Structures are given as structure tokens and as C-alpha cells.
Chains A and B, each alone.
Chain A
């Protein structure tokens, strides 16, 4: 059995070597899905960095966004257009959740905020299940696909569009944080909330805004996921896990690294799925995270020893 597994692994690598065109297919699929991970991870990194709340409900915000998009498209709104109102609605939802829950746990210890967002995740899953039902849903974008290399490589136009939108959103976020007054306030709060408060930054507003922006980004990611994959009230956890893996691997506060890691993760997942089989797709990612963490720990130890 194990020999068979290794043999089929070797066969799969052979395919990639003899027909390199399939590498392109894997890269295209990986990058387009990595872009969506990047959105969820970016939002998580933002909230984590600024408020130090680790949002365990991240994936459920994504699902909620997907469902709002689904409801709007049922009323005749094209999913691509729906992204705007869904973003706005999710911004409002984020604000509400901040005022109701997050504000109360922000000053408390790590464990309390983890529990609070975990509870929020469960509540959101069950409410979505009651309201939208447990069926698996998808959104039809109505776009076709690009055939390349005589049909050997295919990519749906919606994936290309999704990739473009993720890029635009990421650039907009970077510009907002760098250039705008509020962006500067957010960065100041992330660095040192007390100093920021002393210098007249309304940190409560900054926290609320950060959380709401994250919620809106998740909402957009949700609509895109409904267009290229599927949504279901209980599938949010997969995105929470991926977002955590990405942010942990990329390192906190390093936004460009978050995006590169997310794209890389998408591609690695595809290769793992191709070579090892779909069952090892996520296992590979988590193993990589482990290796990165160990490696980083070793680097830190050497650093500490050097300091001593």
C-alpha cells in the first residue's frame, strides 16, 4: 500500500515533468484561490495587529458575506455588483459586533477574547443555519472560461476577475493605511495604543473602524468564494484556519508578506493535491507552518544566545 502510494506520487511528478502545461493549470488555480485567502488573512492580520483580538469567527464572517451575496443575487443583483452592498452591510455588522462584544473583551486577557470570538463563531454558524438553511450554495457569475493550450489549461473568467478585485482591494488598503489620516491613526494605535491616546487619537473609534473594515473585507471574500467555490453555514472554519496559518507564517504586522504567503499557500495546496492527493492538501500546509515556526524558534534562540 505504501509502495503503491509512493509509486503514484512518482507517477504524478512524472506527469508534471513530461507535460509541463499542467503546471500552469496548478499555478492559475492556486493563485486565484490564494488571492481570496489573502483577503481573509489580511483582515485578520489587521484586527490582530491593531486590537490584539484574534478573531476566531473570521471564516464565519466570510460565510455571512457569501450568504448576503446569495440573497441579493436571488433578488436579481449580479454577484459582482452585490460585492458593494455586501461590503457596506458587513461593515455595519462589524461595527455592531464591535460595540456589542469586541469592545468589552479588548482590554481583557487573550483567553477571554478567544472565548468571546469562538462563541461568536458558533452563534453565527447556528443563526446562518436557521436563516439560510444547511444547503450548500453557490453563486452563478454567468461568465465563461478561457481555454488555453488546446483545452489543456482552463481558467474561468470569474477567477481572473476575482484575482483582479483582490489586488485592487489590497492596494487600496495599503494606500489607505499609508496615506490617510485615519490610516495613520490605525497604525499609531497598533504601535502603542497608550501613546496614541495621549496624542489625541480616539482609539475606541480606531478599534471599531478596524474591526468593521475587516468585516467588510471578509464579506467581499465571501461573495467571491460563493462564485468560485461553495458556501455552507459550517464551512467558515476552513477559512479561519487558513487565515491563521497565513498570518502566523507571514509574521504579524507584515502585510506584504501576508499577501505573498497567501498566494504561495494557494499554489502549494494545489501541488500537494496533485502530487500527494487531495487528502494531503491541508496537511501539507499545516506541516509547513510547523516547520516555519520551529525554524523561527531556532533563529530566535540563536539571537538570544548572541545577546547573552
Chain B
């Protein structure tokens, strides 16, 4: 009898302790707002995924250091729960279901890349959970009528269209008619690069420029020598390439090998392809679009100027030599979330969505204002040119720190 009683007492005690623990756990969790993300930690995009998550973490750390986010008089810290999507869109979608259903997370940070983002959006849309993404630029993401997705970056059709604009400007200056300019181009056959291509095609139409070579590179082909031979024969004034890191590497290397040049040469992914260190002289004069550059005169109250952000991030992350824009835009997303939480003064997802939609703020990454489709329409793409092994902003003229070198000199 005695034993039984003591057992019951012990059990009750244990239950009480467990309840207390559970309660304290809940209390701690209540002071933290957890954002969720399925991001590429392994697989093809592991490097880019690391860039994005480093940017997210850096943003969260800074917001927390500055006292977190105050909602209705209560202070919250931010935290992020990550899952590895293995660089496969199907996995991204599965993991988001898990994040939303099992982990009960109601605030989503985007994955890396247009493919995974395309897979993520229908899931967040289904559960009416807001997602702010920084790494999916494909135009097609913003034609589906998604209500709960917002993007900090410029869309991919704007990547190389400023090149055509610049070319027209330069042609006029040197007494040529923009419609006399011929374009030779090669784009990889994937959604991102084809968006970039569409931007160029539309812009070229505007100026009446003729596209003389328009090839699409297969995904697993690292040879464009046939295309370049055609370019050599037809001598266009403008060359445009986009095919991720491989495309930039292949184009730069084979242009040099085959002695191909034009007045204007532009391509995406110059930095991730490490053109300046891999090819030095052969990369001179190439124009590279970027979402963000540390020399731009943007600033905010969290990170200070673009240059301040650059310095602070490099000091915290010794493994980086430069700050890729993928990092900067991820940090900007955290700022957007913090701003929306403050304005909404609520943790309700509907109220947060409306607050996000009304975002109109300056950040170190540029101005953020979303269109009805969710893309950021307030920040332009900037063009940089490789001059003496450095990336220098040359267009739009408003932000240029050096004049553009035109026509491009053939590398020796």
C-alpha cells in the first residue's frame, strides 16, 4: 500500500515537472519568431545555398543585436529553422509542407534558385503563409498571381536588357544609328537564362537592332565553339551570354581561344565564375549585371550604407573575399520581415501579408517596393565592367563610378 502511494506521488511529481518544462519551453518559444527555410545545403547549389543562408543568418544576428522586433510592447528575437532541399525542387516542396504542417512555422524565407522557388510558391500559397524570397529571379514566378510571395530582387529579364540600352546610348554618342547594331547571343536552355534572353529580345526590338546569332546552349554542354565560329563570321557589335557559372566560364575561355571579340561583350554570373582570377586579361572589358554592388549609395538604419554592410559581413565571414549579391539580398529579406512585423504589430499571417504588400523602404540593398505580383520594382539592375581586374559600376549613369570602356579591346 505504502509503495503504491509513493509511486503515485512520484508519478504526479514527474507529470508536474514535465508540465512545467513544457510550459517553460513554450514561454521561451513565444519570445522567438521562427522563420523557416528549405535551402540547398548539399547538391548542385550548395555554394549558392550557403551564400543565401549566410546572408539570412547575418541579418537575423544584426536584428537581434539591435534588440529584436517589438510587437504590442513585447520584444521578440528572430530565429531560423533550416532544412536541406538537396538542390532539388521536389524536395523543397516536401520540406515546406513539413515546415508549415509539422513545425507550425508561419513565416517563410525563400530557397535558392528559381526552380526551388517555383516549387515552394504553390505550397505557401495553399496554406496562405507569407514567403519573402531573395534568390528566385525568374520572371515566370510573378505571372502566376501568387498573393503570398514577395521578392527583394530584380527579375531575370532585367539582367542583360540594360546592356542593350547602354549599347544604344553608346551608338548614338559615336554617331551610329542604334538600329545598325547587330547582336550575337547564346543562352542556356533553362528558365532563368531564357528569361534573360527574353529581356534582351524585347529591348532589341525597341531599338530595331538585329539579332544575327541566337543559340541556346544545352544544360550539359560546355562547348560553344560552333556558335562562336558563327559569331566570327557574322561580326555582331554586341555579344550577350547567359548560362550560369559554366556559361560564363565557357564563353570567356572560348572567345579567347577563337579570337572572338565585339564592341560590347556582356554575360551573367561573372563573379561566381571567378572570371577575373581564372582568366585575368581575357576577362577585361566584359560587362556583368548585378543586383547589388557595395559601391552603390544605398543605406538604411540597420546595416548603414552598402559599404558598411560589405565591411561588417567580411569581418564576420573570413571565408569570403567579396560579398556576392546573393548574400546581400538574403540579409535584405530579413530586414523586410522585421519591418513588416513592426508595421503589422501582429503575428497574424493575413495582417503580415498585407504589411509586406505595403512595404516601401530604403535598405542598404536598394529601395524595396513590391508590385501587385510581388516582385521588387523599385531597385534597378546595375552594370559593372571588368576594368584592370576590378568590377566597376558603369551603368546606369546615375550610379556609375567610372566611364564605360567602349569599344572593348581584344585581349592579347
Contacts and interface: CB of A to CB of B under 8 A. Distances in A.
Contact of B232 (A152, A241, A278): A152
Nearest to A271: B226
Given A147-B259, A237-B220, A281 B249 contact: no
B358 to A, nearest CB: 38
Q: Dominant SS at the B interface?
A: mixed
A244 to B, nearest CB: 14
B230 A15 contact: yes
Contacts of A22: 229, 232-233
Interface stretch (B41-49, B64-72, B148-156, B384-392): B41-49
A72 interface: no
B216 A278 contact: yes
B260 to A, nearest CB: 9
A237 B44 CA distance: 14
Contacts of B263: none
A229 B250 contact: yes
Contacts of A33: 223
Contacts of A234: 44
Contacts of A279: 189, 215-218
Interface string A104-135: 00000000000000000000001001100111
Interface residues of A, number: 44
A235 B222 contact: yes
A29 B43 contact: no
Given A237-B220, A278-B217, A134 B259 contact: no
B220 A19 contact: no
Contact of A281 (B42, B221, B258): B221
B258 A229 contact: no
Nearest to B245: A136
A211 interface: no
Contacts of B218: 278-279, 281-282
Contact of A278 (B47, B224, B234): B224
A276 B227 CA distance: 10
A219 B337 CA distance: 50
B61 interface: no
B245 A135 contact: yes
B257 A154 contact: yes
B225 interface: yes
Interface of A: 8, 12, 15, 19, 22, 25-26, 29, 33, 126, 129-130, 133-136, 138, 140, 145, 147, 151-152, 154-156, 229-230, 232, 234-235, 237-238, 241, 269-274, 277-279, 281-282
A273 B220 contact: no
Closest 9 pairs (CB-CB, A-B): A273-B226, A279-B216, A238-B220, A278-B215, A274-B226, A277-B215, A29-B225, A136-B245, A154-B259
21 contacts: A22-B233, A25-B258, A129-B42, A133-B46, A134-B45, A134-B47, A138-B249, A140-B278, A145-B259, A154-B259, A230-B249, A234-B44, A241-B220, A269-B223, A270-B226, A272-B226, A277-B227, A278-B218, A279-B216, A281-B226, A282-B218
Contacts of B220: 235, 237-238, 241, 282
A234 B222 CA distance: 12
Contacts of B234: 15
B343 interface: no
A156 B260 CA distance: 13
A274 B253 contact: no
Contacts of B273: 136
B221 A274 contact: no
Nearest to B412: A144
Interface in B193-242: 214-218, 220-227, 229-230, 232-234
A273 B272 CA distance: 26
B47 A229 contact: no
A17 to B, nearest CB: 12
B325 to A, nearest CB: 17
A129 B257 contact: no
B259 A232 contact: no
B274 interface: yes
Given A136-B246, A138-B278, A156-B257, A238 B230 contact: no
Contacts of A147: 259
B186 interface: yes
A265 to B, nearest CB: 12
B124 to A, nearest CB: 27
A140 B281 CA distance: 13
Contacts of B224: 273, 278
Residue from A138, A147, A232, A237 with most neighbouring chain B CB atoms (10 Å): A138
B246 A232 contact: yes
A201 to B, nearest CB: 39
A229 B226 contact: no
B216 A277 contact: yes
B233 A138 contact: no
B274 A273 contact: no
B319 to A, nearest CB: 12
A269 B226 contact: yes
Contacts of B186: 278
B27 to A, nearest CB: 40
Contacts of A237: 220
Given A235-B222, A278-B186, A25 B259 contact: no
A22 B231 CA distance: 11
A126 B42 contact: yes
A8 B245 CA distance: 28
A126 B41 CA distance: 12
